[in-house]
Amino acid sequence: MPCLVMKFGGTSVADLDRMERVAQRIGGAVADGHEVIAIVSARAGKTDELADLVVRTSPFYDAREYDAVTSAGENVTSGLVALMLQKKGIPARSWLGWQVPVETTDAHSAARISGIGTSNIRSRFNSGMKAAVVAGFQGVSPENRVTTLGRGGSDTTAVAFAIAFEAVRCDIYTDVDGIYTADPRIVGGARRLERISYEEMLELASLGAKVLQTRSVELAMQHRMPIRVLSSFGNEAGPTSGTIVCDEGEIMERNVVNGIACSRDEAKLTIVSVADRPGIAAAVFGSLAEAGVNVDMIVQNISEEGRTDITFSCPTDQADFAEKALAGVKESGDVNYRALVTDRDVAKVSVVGIGMRSYAGVAGRMFAALAAEGVNIKVIATSEIKISVLVDRKYMELAVRSLHDAFDLETGT
Amino acid sequence: MPCLVMKFGGTSVADLDRMERVAQRIGGAVADGHEVIAIVSARAGKTDELADLVVRTSPFYDAREYDAVTSAGENVTSGLVALMLQKKGIPARSWLGWQVPVETTDAHSAARISGIGTSNIRSRFNSGMKAAVVAGFQGVSPENRVTTLGRGGSDTTAVAFAIAFEAVRCDIYTDVDGIYTADPRIVGGARRLERISYEEMLELASLGAKVLQTRSVELAMQHRMPIRVLSSFGNEAGPTSGTIVCDEGEIMERNVVNGIACSRDEAKLTIVSVADRPGIAAAVFGSLAEAGVNVDMIVQNISEEGRTDITFSCPTDQADFAEKALAGVKESGDVNYRALVTDRDVAKVSVVGIGMRSYAGVAGRMFAALAAEGVNIKVIATSEIKISVLVDRKYMELAVRSLHDAFDLETGT
């Protein structure tokens, strides 16, 4: 019997009424002839509530106990959804991480799945169970302690189950009905994509389209497990609803550009006139890493008279830490520079598309579109399937809309 | 190093401030040189909240899923209390039922402990852990499902741990500061007992003094494990606070009567003129058991002309079920009787004391005291260490006070 994995996030199971809709969806998949593994999150807000209790108890908490406490929300949901299925006459059972077991590393609060035991659930399927309702987000360490996988970890739980049970697909039910060519709140004509490649999804995820946890996409890509992202609030959940994230080989018609992503809260820091010799960049970015600054884009201008400028971007709320770290390396004498210029009011806008690999001229078209609107480009960074620019924050929405038009995303190319 | 088991109920861990006091008490016991096993309940009200979710989901729920859901409250408390201990520099760790493991039968929602594995916790004690904070109320079935032990089950968890770890004592912290000669809300001069025997405690527990779960006392009696009942809200917790429940051999001075118990909501049912032949009582009480009626006292008058009257008592809210069940057996022809007389306004008052065994005249003194106040006795039942009477409910408090005086309980005999 084909196995289907279905994952429901916190807003999808926020209360008993919504859980009832989840149970209906699971029941539908069972009626379609699937053995279903449903991965459920805690009710919306519950994990935050528990995490808050931990932080109030002990700001420098032991992550093992943090996990013991914060994993409890999923226990409740999995039991309740299993009961709802039973009430509909569907043989169902709840499963906690340790019961499956979901084996993880002992990196508490950010554990990684190392293996999923399939024999317990399989033997239940063989004796008539139709739906296994698994508590997401949690696993068990080699020491037999409860672990959690970090925020968004239930996505990764779901993909890992889909791989372990050789599911036909991993359906992720969330509060949006798919992946769009741009944020629909910014671009009225944004279009839902039927399919998108893993690589593009990874770029979009890291660019601020927070629909799927990055690790879940990486894992799916590695095992070529198709993911479908769809809304748990829509009425229809037919074969064409949502967006399928899959191997690029399965996408017939590739667009040059598939999406415009943006990230509002960026800061740009320029280290002016620093010595251009080996070891300087290492000292600069080493100190930033130590200070916990997530450096994103890095550009270095050409050298003049042995000195150069280094510009990088990071989240706005980390700019203070970055400044402090750089003042520190200057004071210690490791790195000498003339000035540090910080611009806290920038945003990042990116065009993403696997088609770029075989299609020249994307950068030119992008820069022309921005120039036509009078948007000044402050920094440029590129990867194989993405071009990102920093612009003044006030132009972000304008830039996204103009690029959406420039690449004909509303109709598709 | 001596092991001490300490159990804290729901009101003792109702919020973070109260948990902090619990952590202080555990810390005190560690400072006194104990290895501590603390059994904690869910925060007050949390288990009810979860049980309510289950009932709203599915009135005829699967007890396995009920247990999966309702056990979650204890997970949270055990993690939080462990964190508070760590913050005080006390090496501590939380333990869920399956991690210990607390092995139980598979009678979900009312499971019985079949064994407690000691090696995991012992090896942690050997490597420096000073306090194990165990989630009460829960265990794991032979099928590896989470089980719960029924309301008040954490008391039984605590006693079972004390026995398994050969603890010096099992301290039960609750919202009263010990066992009293009578309910202090009824008798102003009620006196806290320093010691009470297991047998007396069992009679008191079943008579409505709901301080300890009956099973926990039975288990302690069987293994001669001393229990101390004390308040988690008092400031002092010295060696003489609370009440020790122990073997009667350890109680030097035995009083004839140690306590007056009462139970307000009783009903008395009399089956008038029923055939006095073998099989009739079995048919009557069999049908009541099937209807879920908890029959307490039973008396049968002498037979006249082959017919007799049977009187029994049960909780008031079960009187309707009892009437219906008895109408059923009459209709089916199994039992014929002339009339059924129900009195819903009675209460039970009992005197309890191991001294009764070797001291005659207790019944006489009791009946005389009640007669002096004009309290009519409707039914009498006795055991080796207890005499119970049913009286009109409106006389209950008066009866308790007059018996407390009659047996000099305020000063002790």
CA distance A133 to A36: 8
Under the phi-then-psi rule, with left for phi > 0, alpha for psi from -120 to 50, and beta for the rest, what region is B188? alpha
Residues of A in contact with B120 (CB under 8 A): 144
Chain A, window 123-182: residues with a beta carbon less than 8 angstroms from a chain B beta carbon = 144-146
Residue-wise pLDDT for A220-232, tens only, equals 999 999 999 998 8
- Top-confidence range, A62-66, A132-136, A186-190, A213-217: A132-136
Interface ipTM? 0.73
DSSP, collapsed to helix, strand or coil, labels residue B326 as helix
* pTM of full prediction above 0.90: no
With CA atoms as reference, report the closest residue to B40 among B3, B2, B11, B4. Answer: B11
Main-chain phi, psi angles of A90, to 5 degrees: -100, 120
Q: Mean of the pLDDT values across residues B166-192?
A: 91
- Residue A207 reports pLDDT greater than 70: no
Q: Mean of the pLDDT values across residues B390-404?
A: 95
Residue-wise pLDDT for B329-361, tens only, equals 999 888 889 999 999 999 999 999 988 877 778
Q: Is the CB of B87 less than 8 angstroms away from the CB of A144?
A: no
Residue-wise pLDDT for B270-292, tens only, equals 999 998 888 888 889 999 988 88
Main-chain phi, psi angles of B394, to 5 degrees: -65, -20
- Angle subtended at Cα A40 by Cα A18 and Cα B146, rounded to the nearest 5 degrees: 110
Partner-chain residue, chosen from B53, B84, B145, that has the shortest CB–CB distance to A57: B84
- Angle subtended at Cα B264 by Cα B260 and Cα B270, rounded to the nearest 5 degrees: 105
Two tokens, residue A55 = 């932080």
Least confident of A7-21, B79-93, B376-390: B376-390
- Residue A54 reports pLDDT greater than 70: yes
pLDDT of amino acid B237: 55
Residue-wise pLDDT for A236-272, tens only, equals 556 568 999 999 888 766 678 889 999 999 999 999 9
* CA B89 to each of CA A108, B35, B86: distance values in angstroms, whole numbers, following the listed order: 20, 15, 5
pLDDT of amino acid B412: 67
Comparing A207 with B166, the larger pLDDT belongs to: B166
Residues of B in contact with A82 (CB under 8 A): 62, 65, 68
- Interchain CB contact of A237 with B (< 8 Å): no
- Residue A56 reports pLDDT greater than 70: yes
Two tokens, residue A272 = 């002016």
Q: Is the CB of A57 less than 8 angstroms away from the CB of B144?
A: no
- Residue B153 reports pLDDT greater than 80: yes
- Residue B376 reports pLDDT greater than 80: yes
Q: Mean of the pLDDT values across residues B21-33?
A: 96
- Residue A276 reports pLDDT greater than 90: no
pLDDT of amino acid B407: 93
What confidence tier does A61 reach under pLDDT thresholds 50, 70, 90?
Answer: confident
* Dihedral angle, C-alpha A242, A244, A250, A256, nearest 10 °: 80
- Interchain CB contact of B223 with A (< 8 Å): no
CA distance B232 to B22: 7
Side chain identity at residue A269, one-letter code: L
For chain A, give the mean pLDDT: 91
Q: Please name the residue of chain B whose CA is at the shortest distance from the CA of residue A54.
A: B80
Comparing B208 with B265, the larger pLDDT belongs to: B265
- Interchain CB contact of B109 with A (< 8 Å): no
- Residue B393 reports pLDDT greater than 90: yes
CA distance A136 to chain B (A): 14
What confidence tier does A209 reach under pLDDT thresholds 50, 70, 90?
Answer: low
Q: Is the CB of B57 less than 8 angstroms away from the CB of A144?
A: no
Q: Quick one: which H or E segment has residue B262?
A: strand B259-275
Beta bridge partners of B304: B307
- Interchain CB contact of B91 with A (< 8 Å): no
What confidence tier does B305 reach under pLDDT thresholds 50, 70, 90?
Answer: confident
Q: Please name the residue of chain B whose CA is at the shortest distance from the CA of residue A62.
A: B83
Q: Is the CB of B58 less than 8 angstroms away from the CB of A87?
A: yes
CA distance A145 to chain B (A): 8
Q: Is the CB of B86 less than 8 angstroms away from the CB of A16?
A: no
- Interchain CB contact of A108 with B (< 8 Å): no
Under the phi-then-psi rule, with left for phi > 0, alpha for psi from -120 to 50, and beta for the rest, what region is B25? alpha
Two tokens, residue B318 = 């079960």
The answer to whether residues A175 and A160 touch, using CB atoms and an 8 Å cutoff, is: no
Q: Please name the residue of chain B whose CA is at the shortest distance from the CA of residue A70.
A: B76
- Interchain CB contact of A50 with B (< 8 Å): yes
For chain B, give the mean pLDDT: 91
CA distance B118 to chain A (A): 15
- Residue A413 reports pLDDT greater than 70: no
Q: Mean of the pLDDT values across residues A302-312?
A: 85
Strands A379-383 and B307-315: unpaired
- Residue B58 reports pLDDT greater than 90: no
Q: Please name the residue of chain A whose CA is at the shortest distance from the CA of residue B18.
A: A57
Two tokens, residue A47 = 């994990």
The answer to whether residues B350 and B391 touch, using CB atoms and an 8 Å cutoff, is: no
